[in-house]
Each structure stands twice: as C-alpha cells, then as structure tokens.
Amino acid sequence: MPAGIRAEVKVDADGTCPVVQASATADAPVYSVTRSVSPDAPDRVTVEFMLEADDPEADVELSKVFDYGDKKVYRFSRELGRGCPCEAVETFDTPVVDIRTRDGMLYLVFHAAGMAELQEVIGSLQERYPTVDVQRLLRSEHDRPDDNLVFLDRGDLTDRQREVLETAHRMGYFEHPRTANAGEVADELDISRSTFSEHLAAAQSKLLDAILDS
C-alpha cells in the first residue's frame, strides 16, 4: 500500500513571509529555516533562518543570534495566523520539513499521506497565493524495493517542453487509440509539426533519462 508522497512546492508568498522578505532585500538565498511554538505562547511562532548577508530587512524585527562568518542566523517572533504558507500547509496536520528561498520564492517540503491529501494541500495554497508550482514529487510504496523509487524534477524541462507535454496529454495524444494526432496538437500550440516533434522528443528524453538512470 502507498506509504505517502514527499512534495516540494514553490510558492509566491506575496509579501506574507518575513523569511522571503529578508532573502529578497539581501538578494541571497535563505538556508536552514526552523520554526517553533512555545507552550507558554501558543499563539506565536518563533522562526530562525540562516542568510549569507548582514542586516536584512523584513516587516518584523529581526535579531542576529549567531555569526558563522559568511552566514548569519537571524530570529524573529510573530503571531500565528498571518497568512504564512507554512501555516497553510500545517492546517492539514502536515508538518513542513524543509524551507528554503530562492529568487523571491518560498520552497516548502512536506509529506502527504496520499494523493487526496496532497491535492487538498495544493488546492488550499492555490486559493491563497498567486503562484503555486509543484517542483518535485517522490512516492514511496511498501511493496516495492527502494530502487523502484523515482525522483523527477520538473525544472529539468523548459517551459515550452512542459507546455507541449501538457497539451499533448490533454488532447489525448498519448492515449490508445489516440484522440489527437501530432498535427492537431501542433495546431493547438500554433507551431509546426516538426517543432512539436522536436520539443516532444526532447521532453521525453529527459523524462526517460530520469527514470532509467535512477
């Protein structure tokens, strides 16, 4: 039976996350984010993060608590329920196990019990934030050995390759029998049939490399 799904999601926190704000003002990625809630103040959350910069800015008071030289650890505390993506995920009793930032975006990693729970979490995030993109999914199964687990990174595909795959799949190009041929999919994409074939072959090659080399 399925043991669960490990998901990495990219979220545009839309000004709601002080960690993203600090990363953006410092123009540097954030590493090693930890969050905690004290039993003495259950309505507040304390967050620490590591940043390769001095004196970043955010809409909360940041205090530097440790200096590694090139990297510094900052801490802030604020009320829960302020629209943080982490809190949105944890509403489903799904702890966030890893948090990073890059290019003004928040990257969250969590484990869902199954596809239904994953869809609920993603749907909730999409209702709250302007951009939500699933970056990676790793599915584990009890009855399969570890070498059957495949790690796919959608970021390996270009935007155009993903569009070609998504359109071809939606139109039934991969069904048997096909409900759309290459020419019809190419027309839908407003590209030539040869260009469609080139993008499709490149995308399929990347996916096969990921699967067969795992």
Give per-residue pLDDT as tens, 121-169: 998 998 888 888 888 888 765 545 545 555 566 667 888 998 999 899 8
Q: Domain residue spans in the chain?
A: 2-145, 153-212
- The whole-number pLDDT of residue 130 equals 84
Asked whether residue 190 carries a pLDDT value surpassing 70, the answer given is: yes
pLDDT digits over 72-95, tens only? 999 999 988 777 899 899 989 999
- At 158, which amino acid appears? T
pLDDT at residue 213 in the model: 61
pTM across the whole model: 0.64
Ordered strands of the 30-36 beta sheet: 30-36, 44-51, 72-79, 63-67
Q: CATH fold of 153-212, please? A: Arc Repressor Mutant, subunit A (1.10.10)
Q: To which H or E segment does residue 102 belong?
A: strand 96-102
**1 pLDDT band (50/70/90 cuts)?**
very low
- Give the sign of the dihedral formed by CA 111, CA 158, CA 106, CA 82: negative
